[in-house]
Structure 1
Amino acid sequence: MARVRYGARTEAEIAAARTASANLPDIWSTGVVAVWESDPDAVAAVLPPPLKPTGRPLVRVNISKVELTGYPLGAGSFAVAAAHDGVEGWYPLVMPMTHERALTGGREVFGEPKKLGEITVERVGLVVHASLARHGIAFVEVRGAVSEELPLPGPTQKTDFYFKFLPAVDGSGFDADPVLVHCLRNEKVRRLERVTGDVVLRESMYDPVVDLPVRTLVDITIGEKTSDQRGRVVERVDARALLPYIHQRYDDPQQVHDGPPEGSV
């Protein structure tokens, strides 16, 4: 019988796939990163326990394009500063990706809040434009011009916090206790420039980032970076405490009934 590709793989094939994924070459991306101080109450409100706010109510958006051979990828992250058990890092609320392949591994292995979206990263001379869009709405836009080249930082390690869970089959709660994941990234930078510009947040019923307004812009940069990542489960979390936040992960139809905050545009 000819090989049936949906059939069981041999132990050798499974081991070969694992080895190949563990020995990938450095994959470089060009990305725009903007950081700002927002409303401290709003930042605290989006953090599921046991995550806590840090000393500054920071928000960070990262918008990148990755030139994978034959498979260019757009990747984004909109995150707030958070702390857990003495470790400070970032809690992403939404991570738009341009391809399904980039979604599955991150969501199923790490619990990343990835969704399909449209990513724009453009540079013409000194002028820079980057955006995250879903459902036809560019809910984050970063625009400006390169103003100076920056010294390269040394290799750094950064932490993202994710909650990994499976909604229950019967639609009530979870199938098992959710877990909190610390995802560690070792980052290297080979080019970094400062951008003078601004960040525009637009109303979207499915990506309501306007609730985390730009109060004080801290920094905008454009750079070329590469990183690896590894995660570890640090604790099981209280399912009842996490349940009110799981709509962050999905395009919840109930969100169409949520109005924008007063005074938002």
Structure 2
Amino acid sequence: MSTDYEDKEREFLEYLKADTGRDLAEWMHAIREADLAHRNEIIDWLRQQGFIFSWASWLERIHHNGGRPIYLDATPPSLTAPPRSTSDAPATTAPPPPKADKPKTPAPKAPFRPVLVYTAASKPAQTEMAPTPTEPPVPTPSAPRPTPPPQAPAPAGSLNPISDITALIGKAKAYAPLASFVLRTLREALPDASIQVTGNHISCGAPETFAILVPSAKDIKLGLALAEAPFERNVVRAKFSNLSPGPPKSITHMLVLTDARQIDSGLLDLLRSANASVNR
């Protein structure tokens, strides 16, 4: 198991109480009390409590794992110890699981300090991702129109208005922040690339399309033009359904993204390779 992931998880849990006002046991109890049926609903609820997507997803995975950390062999006592009493007597044992018959008294919230996003071991952690992709501002029409006509697909090499991209990403629901993070990372790695809405997906070109992003409520699919590159465990043969229009023939490979930790230096290398394969 990755020692780096263990360190990140240990740091996250050690500072959870100071950052959010609740420790791991209290958050597990709060999730149970929220009585949410699906994983995406739990992640959405945690996002509303102030967590960024990657840590909301991590905390949901711990809850799904029976309240046990994912990478640590066991939860250190210091991570589940209850707050000290008024007499400042140190606690020696972990608190028992909360009883259902106790009145629901939520713990008071402390000022929330944003938790850092983990991207790759070789890079410093980044701050919380923005809810929409940070595209350059698009000039607005000189005369506003109360009811604009339907917008035709933008030509290659240009940008759709951010509102169009945001509207399409919004259909991904709980995965919308992840789709925004992917586009922002792509823009930072390849600043000359254009990003435009093409039917029901997003095309990225410079000027030829080298990547497409297909957001959905189930996952985010990233198609890449990698020609004869071998297929690996995480990079599989491109297969999309219900795309209109269909993807370019150059899109040969695909990654299925569900977690911000997948957006790392390896993914950036794949994006650059895809661009180089069709825009030499």
Q: Which is higher, the Rg of structure 1 or of structure 2? A: 2
- Normalized per residue, the structure richer in helix is 2
Shared topology, TM-score over 0.5?
A: no
TM-score (norm: length of structure 2): 0.24
TM-score computed with the length of structure 1 as normaliser: 0.25
Larger strand proportion of the pair: 1
